[in-house]
């Protein structure tokens, strides 16, 4: 398999990741509450447990993966063994085998927890291959652009195709269809995955590994900036329905128009950002992407028609494309730098801690939206909202994210790694206290 073919095959796995994640996040609660009649409070409890368990699993699975040694590598065996059970677990969420609200709650909780474990095991090991497979900025920029193209397609299919499918063939058949597609693209990705078999063993204990990861200044500045960027994206996705209904006075179908403009624009622009990254380096490129993203959000403060809102959405897609490409490239740099200093290759722990931290952006997004709506006088269920709600919704999309982006910009200004330049005090491996370096 040629280098380009391998890059494409590996990147195809991101379609599976986002197809499963977006379909579950968008429709699981709706299906169990609205179609199966389960008490929404019970499903809310299950989703809170899901969020906590998923977050805690990330660093734990990452650490175990870093310490795994087999003749086939550290990551590939987990993907190969786990991808079929993951597809099956996702499918079973949409095929409730019990009747009754309480029984279905327990079924949902168990099915989701099984899905969580398998999703983290497969997906964390899949993404942890990226820094090892692609070692130069040019390779990483090209591979990241293909991965994110597949990711956006997966998002679109997971969100837009699901209503069509469950309307035509029912929820269980939709789950089976998505599970089969995800398994096929994971299998294609596995064909393009290569891993260097490592003989040395990472000797840090779990808590020590977490401590050294959080003591890494490059990682701390990166993960704070990443968390804030993910927060703005979550605010955009969750805030658009309120914006179209109250600021534009449009029906729900307008959500598809605006979000579609974001994603359709982002697909070709990920390639452009890969070229920009190769030319000016990841740090300067992410700073440029944040500026573009912030400027594109400003029109949401005043646009009054769907066409202009869609144009603004397309402009936002330009910045988001850069964000999607650059975040994993920057994290790969952090991992490379950590290996130079510690002698240990710890992609699993870094991706795991990153996953643990950034997933709380969704929770913070929900808090921000709740505060903005309540402070602006929003009345749930009211046919007409006061004018202050329109102002609040506009600030939620075009004001609050600008403040968050300004802080994220500051984080990446402080990011200490430069393309092709090692920090002077980290140019040689540093002996660490505690467990001996391998």
Q: Is 170 found in the same domain as 131?
A: yes
Q: Is 239 found in the same domain as 154?
A: no
Domain of residue 274, CATH code: 1.20.1250.20
Q: How distant is the alpha carbon of residue 148 from its chain centre? A: 11
- Determine, yes or no, domain membership for 427: no
Q: Is 281 found in the same domain as 171?
A: no
End-to-end CA distance of the chain: 33
Q: Which of 192, 218, 253 finishes a domain?
A: 192
Give me Rg for the CA atoms of the chain. Answer: 22
Q: Is 229 found in the same domain as 142?
A: no
Q: Is 177 found in the same domain as 104?
A: yes
Tens-digit pLDDT profile for residues 327-382? 999 999 999 999 888 888 899 999 999 999 988 887 788 788 888 888 888 876 66
Q: Which of 168, 192, 216 finishes a domain?
A: 192
Q: Is 124 found in the same domain as 40?
A: yes
Q: Is 272 found in the same domain as 124?
A: no
Q: Is 356 found in the same domain as 257?
A: yes
- Determine, yes or no, domain membership for 369: yes
Tens-digit pLDDT profile for residues 10-31? 999 999 999 999 899 888 888 8
Give the bridge partners for 118, in sequence order: none
* Summary mean pLDDT of the chain: 87
Q: Which of 192, 225, 241 finishes a domain?
A: 192
Q: Is 179 found in the same domain as 222?
A: no
How many domains does the chain fold into? 2
Best mean pLDDT range from 39-43, 236-240, 295-299: 295-299
Element (H, E) at 22: helix 13-30
Q: Is 400 found in the same domain as 355?
A: yes
Q: Is 136 found in the same domain as 7?
A: yes
Q: Is 140 found in the same domain as 1?
A: yes
Instruction: Give residue 430's pLDDT.
Output: 39
- Determine, yes or no, domain membership for 286: yes
Alpha helices, H only, 129-249: 130-133, 137-156, 162-169, 171-191, 206-214, 217-242
Q: What percentage of the chain carries pLDDT values higher than 90?
A: 54
Task: Please say if the pLDDT value at position 422 is more than 60.
Answer: no
What range does the domain containing 163 cover? 1-192
Task: Please say if the pLDDT value at position 431 is more than 60.
Answer: no
- Determine, yes or no, domain membership for 78: yes
Q: Please give the C-alpha separations between residue 219 and each of 138, 144, 167, 226, in angstroms, as whole numbers.
A: 21, 19, 45, 10
């Amino acid at each position: 398999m040629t280098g380009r073919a391998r890059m494409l095959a590996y990147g195809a796995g991101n379609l599976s990741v986002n197809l499963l994640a977006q379909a579950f996040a968008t429709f699981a609660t709706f299906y169990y509450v609205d179609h199966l009649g389960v008490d929404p409070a019970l499903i809310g409890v299950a989703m809170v447990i899901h969020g906590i368990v998923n977050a805690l699993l990330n660093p734990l699975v990452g650490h175990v993966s870093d310490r795994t040694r087999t003749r086939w590598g550290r990551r590939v065996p987990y993907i190969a063994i786990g991808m079929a059970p993951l597809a099956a677990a996702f499918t079973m969420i949409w095929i409730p085998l019990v009747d009754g609200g309480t029984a279905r709650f327990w079924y949902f909780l168990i099915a989701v927890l099984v899905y969580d474990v398998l999703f983290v095991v497969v997906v964390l090991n899949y993404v942890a291959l990226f820094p090892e497979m692609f070692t130069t900025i040019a390779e990483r920029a090209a591979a990241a652009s293909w991965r994110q193209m597949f990711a956006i397609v997966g998002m679109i299919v997971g969100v837009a195709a699901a209503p069509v499918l469950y309307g035509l063939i029912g929820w269980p058949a939709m789950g089976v269809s998505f599970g089969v597609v995800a398994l096929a693209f994971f299998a294609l990705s596995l064909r393009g995955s290569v891993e260097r078999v490592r003989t040395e063993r990472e000797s840090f204990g779990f808590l020590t590994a977490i401590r050294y990861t959080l003591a890494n200044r490059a990682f701390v500045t990166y993960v704070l900036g990443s968390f804030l960027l993910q927060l703005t994206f979550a605010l955009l996705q969750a805030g658009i329905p309120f914006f179209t209904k109250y600021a534009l006075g449009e029906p729900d179908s307008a959500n598809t128009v605006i979000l579609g403009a974001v994603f359709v624009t982002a697909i070709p622009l990920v390639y452009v950002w890969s070229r920009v990254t190769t030319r000016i380096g990841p740090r300067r490129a992410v700073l440029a992407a944040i500026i573009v993203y912030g400027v594109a959000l400003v029109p949401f403060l005043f646009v009054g028609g769907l066409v202009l809102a869609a144009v603004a959405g397309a402009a936002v897609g330009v910045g988001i494309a850069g964000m999607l490409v650059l975040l994993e490239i920057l994290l790969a740099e952090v991992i490379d730098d950590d290996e130079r200093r510690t002698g240990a290759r710890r992609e699993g722990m870094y991706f795991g801690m990153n996953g643990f931290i950034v997933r709380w952006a969704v929770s913070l997004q929900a808090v921000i939206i709740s505060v903005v709506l309540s402070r602006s006088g929003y009345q749930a269920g009211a046919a007409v909202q006061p004018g202050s709600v329109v102002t609040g919704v506009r600030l939620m999309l075009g004001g609050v994210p600008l403040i968050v982006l300004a802080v994220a910009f500051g984080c990446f200004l402080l990011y200490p790694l430069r393309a092709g330049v090692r920090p002077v005090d980290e140019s040689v491996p540093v002996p660490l206290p505690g467990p001996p370096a391998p």
